[in-house]
Structure formats: structure tokens, C-alpha cells
Amino acid sequence: MDFVSPIINILPRLWDCIASRKNYICGLQEDLSSLRSAMDDLKNVRDDVNRRVKIAEEQQKMWRRDQVEGWLKLVETMEHEVDVIIKDASQQLSRRCLSGYCPKNCHSSYKVGKRVVTKLTAVAELRSKGDFSDVADRMLPALVEAMPIRPTVGMDLMFKSVWRSLEDDHDRIVGLYGMGGVGKTTLLKKINNEFLQQGTHDLDVMVIWVVVSKESNARRVQKDIGERLGLALQEDASQDARARNIFNVLSKKKFVLLLDDIWDRVDLEDVGIPHPDGRNKSRVVFTTRSEAVCGRMDAQKKIRVECLGWQEAWDLFKEKVGADALNSHPEIPKLAAIVAKECGGLPLALITIGRTMASKKTLQEWNHAITVLRKSASEFSGMGEEVFPLLKFSYDNLQNDTIRSCFLYCSLFPEDFEIDKEELIQYWIGEGYLDGFDDMNEARNQGHDIIGTLKLACLLESGLNDDGDVKMHDVIRDLALWIACECGRKKDKFLVQARVGLIEMPEVEKWREAERISLMCNDIKELTEIPTCPKLLTLLLQRNQLKVVPNGFFNFLPALRVLNLSWTTIRKIPAAIIELVELQYLNLSRTGIETLPDEFKKLMKLKYLDVSSTPRLSSIPHKVISEMSRLQVLNLYDAYFGDWEVEGCVGDGSGASIEELECLKHLKALGINIKTVHALQRFFNSQKLPRYTNYLGIKECQSLTSIPPPSSSSTLGNMKCLEVFDCRNCLDLEDLAISWMVGEGHNRFSSTLERLLLRNLPKLRIIRGGPLPHLCFQNLRFLLIDKCNALKDLTWLFGTGNLQILRLFNCKGIEEIICGGVDEVEEFSRLESIWFEDLPELKSIYWHALPFPSLVTIEVHRCPKLKKLPLDSSSAKNTLKSIKGSKRWLDKLEWEDETSKSTFLPYFTFRPVE
């Protein structure tokens, strides 16, 4: 019994083992089929997961989860292992005998069958793990994404300036502005990449780059920012909801938002941008073509991106041209420098033209390039296709057609020309751009506003005299000519050959289709042909050597509105000027004309007539002026003519009278010379003329003892438009009464006075009316006093905060400029030039040192009692260039201290002993 019992216990186990092995062997076919099906199912699940991952990564900017990545790798491994098992199992099945029911090798079949069953279980288990609810997580965006950028030339100093601003805690919003093509975007990219390179100071700062562009809106800016932050902003969500999503993310971050190419205000709050401040340490930096946009963006720092200096421009141009072209002939580098200068330091033009010239290796090609650039830059390869269309966006973005027309008009002036603002505005008025104003000052104000708008848009620049002049960048001028000629389609619409060395007028065939012609600043001596120009509106012939305007020249210019013949030597205007029935602006200043012809009576639409500085103009016939009834501006200042007739008092009725001027109902600005006491008395008794007078000259007025003359109803204090007051050679003049009273209802001396010229008035003394006000002479810029021996001081200048030039000559009685008794003095903050000569009694300019923050030159001659200048070591810092005088005078000068003396000695230049 003991032997049988163990056998009985083993038999069931043995049978189970044999049965399981039998199942592995006999069920191999069926198990293999199940494995294939399970593996196919697993691969389908894998493909579904891969598809979900791809969508998440490519469309939703997400990262696949590590768990998913690991599972996919396991499936890849499983697929390989299953393929091996299926291959082995298939071989075992193929070796069976008895029609496939009996294996040849039971052990091998058993092993393969077991592997199939085991793998089937593994596949099922792996399949169950592939049911992922989420296959990817939100991607953590990089703190800085590198921007592609070309090598920068000449931007190092500008970049350092901007970077310093970014390091300044006060400058949280920084605006970079400048004309198109100047390199603003390149500079912004360099800033972006600098954050990537430095990356040590602010490891947690996120840099966000967004191109705004002209057509952009808040939703598009939100979309770009959302993508950068990894936010899936819903297209159908409201702008406010999208803004909240962006704000919730950015309010927890320190960020630098770089906005490129802004054309108008981007409301940060509407987009969802937390306002940058000292608490969140964030910043916004943007680029724009308009300084005005910097203001609308509340920029704490505005930085103008300037064109390159010559050396940087030359380096960039040489880089684009390449050594092969530059070295192909010894003379080409000289010609290349001329071409580069035509680009005016504008990187876009330098790059475009440089690339074009890279294949030019002959002198003829380079000389041709210079000719084309100077004559019609739009025809140069790349300029009309690449440069001008990009720059034209600034023109298109101007507020209205009036401003656009005013901009195009500036192209009529020569390259690098200092354009006088007032002259430019008068052209615009003559053209009808500034209509609709009853007050000339309002029209002028609008003109100045337009100039300011064009400067803010970087389409005009300040001239050397920032107050009085503007100029155009050469490439912007070429752009304006291109636009004016309708982007190159009508090349004769503007005919501009200004300051190009012409010695004769262009052929009249070129005039036929022109609307505006500018031949100013040439050497044209005569007009040899009679033009036919039915569309011509503007003709500028000033600053030529013209002596005669031929009869018939004006016969076929029916639409002409603006004519400028100033700075020529013509003496006579042909009678055919009456054919100019539309003429509104006529400038004959600084010419040799001797009279205003009777034909001027027919110029019924004339609004502007300038015959100032005409030393031969000796007569104006009766009623010529009064018949030009629409005149708004009449300037006869510094003309020889000044013998105005006065009805019932002076003259025979054949000449112009003061009463004719009063008949001009539309008169808003007057420049006048007066040479008789009766005319001056009549002038000051007029209720109209003093009010509109800008330039007043009183010359050779014998027997005149006071200004204004006795019994005058007006004073200089009523002349609120007066800019220049010029009194000379009135030898009997004793009193100049300047009445001023501060307070409502009282007169002030002209608030617009720019020049006060007192010459050869030996008996003159100034009568002051009332206490010295701070506002008296507040806009006086130029003061010249010559031969006024009765003057003792100029303390009446107290308050001249805008005085720039001070000239005192031959005044025998002046002892002080500003009396020592004055406790306070306007500190001449804008005074640039002092010139004292032949002032034998002058002892003091002022009793203590003054800052003189703008002073450039001091010149003193024959002022033996002036022993001390109002200077100390802190005066005129960084502005003074020279002090001129005699060595004897210098040796006698007294100084505040040795430091002051050593500071100013290097600026002295000497004249021979006086």
C-alpha cells in the first residue's frame, strides 16, 4: 500500500503536465492565429495613439508623454518578437506529417507552442495598457527662440544704447523709431538673440516676438502670443476671454515682449499684456516708423534709429558689392564711393544697390549707375521693385491726401536742401492745400502741424536750423518723385532738375505733361523756348542767372498757380503775365525789378506776392495793389520803394498809397517799408495794417523824432504779428516808445517778434512803458543795434528767453547790457552768438556769471572798458567754440578764478592790435 499510494498521487499531476504539453502542441495552429489577430489589434491601437500624438504635437504644440513614448517603444519591440515567433511557429507547422496532425519533433513543437501562448498573453497585456486618456502634455515653451539675422554692420553703438535702456529699471516701455529700411527689425532681432546668448542674468525671463504689421489687429496679436505661450486659444472665443487667458499666464512670468513694425497704438490691456512695471520686472520693446506712435504707446524711452554714418555705410556697401567687382579696375572704388553716398546711409538701399553692383566690373557700368541714381533712382534695378514699395507704406499711412500732397511737394527742392518752413507753407497755401482759413496764422499753424506730422513719420528731417528749416533724406526724396509720377508710370508728371548744373532750360517737349516743374538752383541764363503746358500748376525758377523772361513765355500756362522767379536778375515782367489767370503765388523777391507793371491788376486770383529785398523797385503805379483784391500776403519789406502816398497829404495820385493797402479785404500778412513821416503816421492810425504787419522797415525817415509819431492811435505793442522791426538812418529819432503792461486788457509788445534791427539812430533812447514783464520780447531771436548813441543799457531786453543772436555796433553811450540793479534775469538759455564792436563806454554785460547753455561764439572789438565777461568754469559747457578779440584786451580781462581762466583760454583767437 505504501508503494501504490505515491504513484496514485503523482498520476494526476503527470496527466496535467502531459495534457498541457499536448495543448501547446495540438493547439499551435489555433494559438498562432490568435497571436496574429492580437498583434494586428495591438498595431491598430498603436497607430491610433501615434495619430493622436502627431495631432497634439503638430497642431496643438504639445509634448508626448513619457508613458506613451515608452509604450510605443514596447509595441515596437513586441512586434519584432512576435514576427520571430510567428516565423518559427510557421516552420514547425510546415514540418508536420499525417496531413499536419503529427509533429516530427514533439519537444520542438512544445517549445514553440509555449512561446506562442506566452506571447499571446503578453500582447493582450500590452494592448490593455494602450488605452490612454491623454497622449500628450502642454509643451513648456523655450524662454527665448533664436531669430535668423544677417550680420549687422554699424549697429554696435545703437545696440549698446538700447541695451542700456533695457537694463534701466525706469524704461519699461521702449520705442525704436526711424524711417523704413533703416534697420529697426534687424536691431530688434539682435536684442532678441542677445537674451539667448546672455541667459545668465534672468534665467526665468521669457522673450516673446510678435510681428504686428500694418494690417494687424488685437486678435491676431493675441493668436501669435498665445502660440508662443503654448495656449490653445479658441477662435470663436471673445477677445476679452482670450485676453484673460493670456493675462493669467503672463501675470505669473517675467517677460520681454518684442513688437515689430507697429503702425498704430497696440492696447496692451486689450491684448491681455500685464502693464510692465517695477513689480513684474517685465518690458515691452517695439519698432515703428513714427515717433508719434511712441507717444501713443506710452514709451518711457524713445530711441531714433538713424541711418549709418559714412564709414559704416561704406563698409556695408563694400561687403555687398564684393572684392571681385571692387578690384576689377583701380578707378571702381572711387565710383563705388559715389554710388554708396547716393544711398544716404540707408541700409536697405545700400544692400539692394550693393547686390546689384556686385556683377558690374567695368567703368562704364559704374558711371551709368551713378547717372541713373541721380537722374531717376526708381529705374535702378531693385529700387522700384524692393526699396520704394517698402518705404511707400509710410506715405500710405499718412492721415489724409492733404498731408500726402504736402509731402510730395517737398521733392521739388534739391537734394540735401535746407527747406525754409515758412516758404514751404506759403507754397502749400498757393497750391490750395491749406484752404478754408480766414486767419493766415491759422493756415500757417496747420502748415507747421503738417510739417510736424511728416517729421514724426520720419518722412522729413530737421535742418541745421531746427526752428526754421527741414530737409528730405535723399532716398525719401527719390521715393516722393517715384510716387508723384504714379510709381513710375507717368514719368513726366513731376519734372525736377534742381541744382544739377543746368546752363539752359530742358527741351519744352519734356514740359508738356508736367504738373510741377522745378529748375531751381541752376545756372540757366535765358529761357529760349515758349512752353505749352496745359496741366502745369507749379513752376520754380528761383536761384538761376535769368536776366529776361521773354515775351510770350506765359502765353500757354493757363493752369499755373505758383511761380517763383526770386534770386534772379530779371528787371521786367512781360505783359503776358496777365495770361496767368489762375496764378495765386508769385515770388519776385531779390530780383532787379524796377516797377510792378499795370498788368498785375489782371491777376485777380493772386493771394501771395513777395517783392521783398528788391533794391531797384522804385515805383508802384496807382491802384495796382488795390486791384489785386484777393491778396492775403504782401511783402514789400526791404524793397527800395517806401514813398507811400497819403490821400490829401502827400503825392500826386500816380503812386501807391497807404489807403490802397487798407482796401485789401483779405490781407492777413504785410511786409512794408516806410520813408515818410506822413505815411508812418497814417500807417499807425490804421485800424487794420499794424495788426497784420509781419515786417516793418522805417528807413531814412527824416524829421521823425519818435516812434510811433505823435498823435498815433496805435503802438508797437499792438503789432502782435510783428516778426522783424528794422529802423535805420532816421537821424533825428529820439524816442522809441515800447508800451507794455502785463495783465488782462493791456497791450504786450509783439509776442512773435523775431528780429529787432536799430541802425544809425544817434539820438535814440528807449522809453519803457510800465514795469518790465517776463513776457516782453519773449520770441525775439535776432537783435542788431547800430549807431544808437543815446542808449545807456538794454535792460529792457529782460525776458528774452529765445534770443539767439546779439549784435551791438557803434553805440557810444551804452554802459551796461543788463543793469546790475536787476535781481533776476532770464539766463539767455538759447543765446548762440554775441558780437560787440565799438562800444567805448561798455563796462558790464551782467554783474555775475551766467550759464549760457547754447553759446557758441563771442566776438569783442574796441570795447576798452569791458574788463570782465559773465563766465565761470560752468558756463557754455560743451557748446563754446571761439572767443575773438585782441591780445591786448585779453591780457586785461579779469576772471572769477584761475579755473575759469584756464577753461576759456583755449578758445581765444586774436585779431591784430586795435
Summarize pLDDT for 768-815 with one digit per residue, the tens. Answer: 554 444 445 677 889 999 999 888 888 877 667 788 999 999 999 999
Q: Which amino acid is present at 405?
A: S
Q: Angle at CA 813, nearest 5°, toward 811 and 814? A: 75
For residue 707 the three cell numbers come to 516812434
Name which residue leads in pLDDT, 22 or 803.
Answer: 803
- Per-residue confidence band for 664, with pLDDT thresholds at 50, 70 and 90: very high
Residue 899 clears pLDDT 80, i.e. is over it: yes
Strands 62-64 and 136-138: antiparallel
CA distances from 30 to 22, 26, 116, 259, 509 (A): 13, 9, 10, 67, 101
DSSP H or E stretch at residue 352: helix 347-357
Residue that is written with C-alpha cell 515717433 in the block? 291
Half-sphere exposure of 628 (CA within 13 A, CB side): 30
Classify the C-alpha dihedral 398-399-403-405 as positive or negative: positive
| Residue 672 to residue 35: CA distance in whole angstroms | 113
Q: Give 62-66 contacts, CB < 8 A, sequence gap 24+.
A: 62/136, 62/137, 62/138, 62/139, 62/230, 63/136, 63/137, 63/138, 63/139, 63/140, 64/135, 64/136, 65/132, 65/134, 65/135, 65/136, 65/137
Number of neighbours of residue 710 by Cβ within 10 angstroms: 8
- Per-residue confidence band for 647, with pLDDT thresholds at 50, 70 and 90: confident
- DSSP three-state, residue 834: strand
Share of the chain above pLDDT 70, in %: 88
Is residue 443 within 8 A of residue 495, CB to CB? The reply is no
For residue 606 the three cell numbers come to 493772386
| Residue 321 to residue 315: CA distance in whole angstroms | 10
- Per-residue confidence band for 143, with pLDDT thresholds at 50, 70 and 90: confident
Helix then strand then coil, % of the chain, to nearest 5: 40, 15, 45
Q: Write down the pTM of the prediction.
A: 0.79
Residue 62 clears pLDDT 80, i.e. is over it: no
| Residue 618 to residue 640: CA distance in whole angstroms | 6
Residue 742 clears pLDDT 50, i.e. is over it: no
Classify the C-alpha dihedral 326-330-333-336 as positive or negative: negative
pLDDT at 821: 59
- For 523-545, what is each residue's pLDDT tens digit? 999 999 999 999 999 999 999 99
Residue 573 phi, psi dihedral angles, 5° rounding: -100, 125
Which CATH number does 385-491 carry? 1.10.10.10
- Per-residue confidence band for 114, with pLDDT thresholds at 50, 70 and 90: confident
Order of strands across the sheet with 283-288?
A: 205-211, 254-262, 283-288, 173-177, 301-304
| Residue 566 to residue 552: CA distance in whole angstroms | 20
Is residue 844 within 8 A of residue 868, CB to CB? The reply is yes
Name which residue leads in pLDDT, 755 or 799.
Answer: 755
Angle formed by the axes of helices 106-128 and 4-26, to 10°? Answer: 70
Is residue 798 within 8 A of residue 822, CB to CB? The reply is yes
pLDDT at 771: 47
Which CATH number does 585-777 carry? 3.80.10
- CATH 3.40.1160.10 is held by the domain 156-304: no
Residue 779 phi, psi dihedral angles, 5° rounding: -115, 10
- Per-residue confidence band for 567, with pLDDT thresholds at 50, 70 and 90: very high
Q: What is the Cα 690 distance to its own chain's centre?
A: 39
Residue 335 clears pLDDT 90, i.e. is over it: yes
Q: What is the Cα 93 distance to its own chain's centre?
A: 87
Is residue 329 within 8 A of residue 299, CB to CB? The reply is no
| Residue 895 to residue 424: CA distance in whole angstroms | 47
432-441: average pLDDT: 76
- For 451-484, what is each residue's pLDDT tens digit? 999 999 999 999 988 778 999 999 999 999 999 9
CB within 8 Å of 221: residues ≥ 6 apart: 210, 212, 259, 266, 271
| Residue 609 to residue 369: CA distance in whole angstroms | 42
- Per-residue confidence band for 105, with pLDDT thresholds at 50, 70 and 90: low
List the chain domain ranges: 4-138, 156-304, 310-375, 385-491, 585-777, 792-914
pLDDT at 21: 53
pLDDT at 610: 96
CB within 8 Å of 58: residues ≥ 6 apart: none
CA distances from 273 to 244, 256, 430, 485, 802 (A): 9, 11, 48, 44, 44
| Residue 270 to residue 264: CA distance in whole angstroms | 14
Q: Kindly report the average pLDDT of the chain as a whole number.
A: 86
- Per-residue confidence band for 391, with pLDDT thresholds at 50, 70 and 90: very high
| Residue 911 to residue 914: CA distance in whole angstroms | 8
Share of the chain above pLDDT 90, in %: 51
Is residue 639 within 8 A of residue 613, CB to CB? The reply is yes
pLDDT at 95: 63
113-117: average pLDDT: 78
pLDDT at 280: 82
Strands 693-699 and 633-635: unpaired
- Per-residue confidence band for 698, with pLDDT thresholds at 50, 70 and 90: very high
- Per-residue confidence band for 709, with pLDDT thresholds at 50, 70 and 90: confident
Is residue 664 within 8 A of residue 625, CB to CB? The reply is yes
pLDDT at 1: 47
pLDDT at 31: 75
Rg (CA), the chain: 43
Number of neighbours of residue 258 by Cβ within 10 angstroms: 21
Give the DSSP letter of residue 599. G
Residue 455 phi, psi dihedral angles, 5° rounding: -70, -40
Residue that is written with C-alpha cell 495793389 in the block? 625
Which of 78-87, 430-439, 700-709 shows the lowest mean pLDDT across its residues? 430-439
CB within 8 Å of 908: residues ≥ 6 apart: 882, 883, 884, 885, 890
CA dihedral 615, 618, 619, 625 (to 10 degrees): 20
DSSP letters spanning 649-687: TBS-SSB-BHHHHHT-TT--EEEEEE--HHHHHHHHH-S
